[in-house]
A and B are shown apart, each in its own frame.
Chain A
């Protein structure tokens, strides 16, 4: 039954929808006034963030639409991450999209991805999940292909579209098979059906579902669209897509596995362990070979998906609580540092050579990028360290040999990633500036603000990791 409560529960989504429509309208009628359109979109993301924050602060929770839509702290937490990263994406995109002349459309696409991502983390119905995933994914194809001035953009968009559609159908197959076994798409019913043991059909369904999500979060061996898509995409799109929808997809996968098939945990934790190990190694080994910073960061995002999957492998024994916390903390830490690293490309350039001597020419920017790189490696006191520490913690608690192997792989991979992240630091601090690097700084004030704000947040993460972990502990999943 739809009551006033339901509208409150849907507040973030309603805000998103409202601003989406208004931004689209204003974008059409005030085509010249990019500032207004961008301000509206930015306000929209802040509104979504604020709505989720208010719901969380007031302790609002409940489930609606026959249990298919749930509001809990877990969902709200991810809505805040999505909205927060969308805010920076809008800032970074505003002036860029002015140049191409369709600011409105691009910003509306961002808001549409936000809407899909905020919906998906609240869904408890497999078909609802599928629809929300598609709502978050379809606009992102257009975002990747949006930069008409570069051929790579169209190419990346096309590759992303084709693989993405295949992934969606694989995901849907998996959902349908699970639905066939359990006779219901609700996660609670699925859990009951899976409780009495895993039939072969259900296992196939689980594997297909996991593969579908592996595509979406660019886990190896389903990652091959990632470098092309992120290299071609406008920087703001790469930054945003590598963070926000990914966080939401991880969140909903966590919900499906923990709420929908807790009894099948031995099966899917092993699956996740294998995926995690492959993904970490593939991401880092390919990243080592890249000279283009965008591609390097794309492979790095593959590697980081592997780290998060390592937390999924630890979802067993005493470690479930810690592993859930690890996913929550890692996604927040990753959102800060990865968006910052991508956005810096807009200010400097995408060839690793263009970073040469940045410390001499623009020391503050070099420091900010240094912070992002060190944080991506996982060096304290920056945010990435806490994400990794939590995953190792969950692994240590799990008591499973396979998970110990995964944690060992994570340690090895952290070291393996040092050369390419520190390659950038080396170029910035040790090399002489090239002639191009001495040219006028690129990028807009909004991008610079975003980069510095994200660098500060990555550094000061040490202060809010305490409250954040308390929040994660009380997040309500389980």
Chain B
């Protein structure tokens, strides 16, 4: 059984590699800002988006993109208004969107295998159209981050000093959360709604253990991320396992190996 004979796997593999490249780029800023939970929150929001898609017949990729981007703006607004604690704002969105998703899915009679694909990822359902969409948006994410790299780095390191230096702090925070929403939506087919935050967070956390400079930390996170996605897809194919789960377990294994070596 040769994996390359299966065209649907190739689509999944390409989409997986693209997502593996962009997830740590956004993830490093989220982790260092202590925003890791935002990825998880937005992932749950994306499920509500998918439910809307299943209900209305619009492509769930589009509806989940729309829902996460809109919700990301809401989260940021609620967080900065200081009327609700930051993590409580996340909890509101996380549980609220999950509740909405469940209600909408029950309306759409959507509790079937289709739903499981979204929850746990299903690279075999990735179409060539999805690959193009993921590639296009990934290019946007990479370009935006490289354009605003300086600002994002300064704001992440020292928000107050960055503001005194005249940086547009609020705009940059909003930009970052919109980018997170894009990455989360794109990652759904690869690892599923429930494991997206792992893809965004774990490679970065593992790379941070190495205590390198910023650029090298990103580089190591990229290596861990890309390796885990490729290896995870191959292993899951030959052993008939869930790709998403295998990818995340591989990432965790790498994290623990680095952690043990560095802290023994």
Specify whether A and B are partners: no
Q: Which residues on A are within 8 Å of B, measured CB to CB?
A: none
Write the residues of chain B forming the contact surface with A, with a CB cutoff of 8 angstroms: none
